[in-house]
Structure 1
Amino acid sequence: MFFSEPEPPRGTPMQVTDRIQRLVAGNGGAMTHHGTNTYLVAVERGWVVIDPGPDDQSHLDAIMFATGGKIGRILITHDHRDHVEGAAWLARESGANLAAARASLAQGDQVDQRLSDNSVIDGFVVIATPGHAADHLCFQLGDVIFTGDHIMAWAPTSVLQPDGDARSYMESLGKLLQIRSKLFLPGHGPAIRNPRKFVGALIARTREREQALWDQIANAPADIDHIVTESYGTLSPEMRGIAHRTIGALLLKLAGDGRAVCDGARWRALQ
């Protein structure tokens, strides 16, 4: 169900719709695919920028050049470094208003306007979608939804303890499934042009993964280290840490659903 795209250009915006451009940062990697997508949206008076991306001067300069510096608002999907590091510089240089779910970002930058579910700002409807991160937001503009890291085409979204929450993630998927749209624009990777079908498949896949984990601990109760080894095999230390946090989030959801319990360090299934 997942798909990618050819390596995109850097420093040059790609036209997505008549109002929306996509600018890809040069911070590609195992967790960011080709890099963070910054979206430039033309509004009545200038531009709205969604997720300025990393503290990469060439990327920030490209945003300023493409918009002529006429940025009225910066919208943040969630407070992860690859999405927000450049926000303070861009706001300062352009004079833009910085809007996010939290009052301040992790690096200490103050937010001008806090956003909440169903609020409307510059024509964008704010959709609270916790799961990948507790403060995660999506933004709907007409039949387009900017999905941040909540839904991506190239890979399943990481839901990692402690900030990630598997139950909230599933609830947020269900929420987006009910909203009519024609195009998802994720925080990394290509656009999704059949959103409802994609979300439905994603929900089914996540349920299957959850059931497989339940089956695993039903057959053989184990601690998380053992579960990670059985599920993923040999991993680099970095990826093993990510897998550990992923499995931990899923186990907590199973426990919350009354389907699993932790006895000491060992997890076992409940019938």
Structure 2
Amino acid sequence: MSRREIPSNNPNLDSIEVQELRKQLNKLIKSLGKNRDNFKSEPVHGRIYPADSIDYTEQSGLTQTGSSPSYWGGLWSLTCCKHDMRQEHFFDYFEEREAGVLRPTEPLFIFTCAGKMGSDRPKWADTKRRWLSSVALVTHAFRGMDDYGEFLLDRREEIWRPRISTQSGEKSNKWAIEHGDCHAIIGDNEVEEVGSPFPDHDHVSTSGTSSCGCSETIDPDHDHTYHDDNDPSSLKFVSTPGYWISWSEPEFYWTVGNSPDIYGGGQDKLAYSRGKNLETTTVLSQLKGVV
């Protein structure tokens, strides 16, 4: 299975202290508010996403073997996996400002951490933990993969090519076929319809069915037209460049045994930094005051 290193994308974070990360997240909220009408800086919402496809190796650092989140080309996106967490009825603070494009009216952070507890550990760490790999302030959301696909096609090729999972022939991308997070079918530089991943996508199990809940069989000829990822009731999240932070080496972590529910809650869990400075309040219940 293909593996990629998580990119290091934290140019404005000068230290690994929790206080500095807190300041940077507040700056992101203020920056988004300046560029958006009808955006309130509070309350601040958050979800923890332990990604089973992200782990730590001594040789490569934080690496990924799955499709979510997607970090490539400077864009952060979460459009596959964690379907229960992304159900639209949880997010009444999103509104459609243009056709097919939802915008948050209140801040929403997605905290993604390594989900494989059997991975290596850094030499400085005394045990394995849920290493924080990225924090993203959601800037856009989409109900349909077609709307998400149109959004991608308006960007540079380096952004959309690793994400379009349905391309074949010369336009195909090996990573996208296996781990792409947009299942829109592209023709003549526009979205024609929505399909499903190829049989070798990481959301397709060895039995020929989707691994994330769809009960129908994936057809080897790629005519399977429905997939849980395409369900319009699960919002597809995007964070544009400048509004997300990621680490290629572990710096922050959640408490050992953190087990958020299927909706990505994880309330009452404490956050630590590499310097082991403990924050005394909770991670998600008061995001303005903690990581």
Q: TM-score, normalising length from structure 1?
A: 0.25
As a proportion of its length, which structure holds more helix?
1
Q: TM-score, normalising length from structure 2?
A: 0.24
Higher Rg:
1
Q: Which has the higher contact order (CA 8 A, sep 6+)?
A: 2
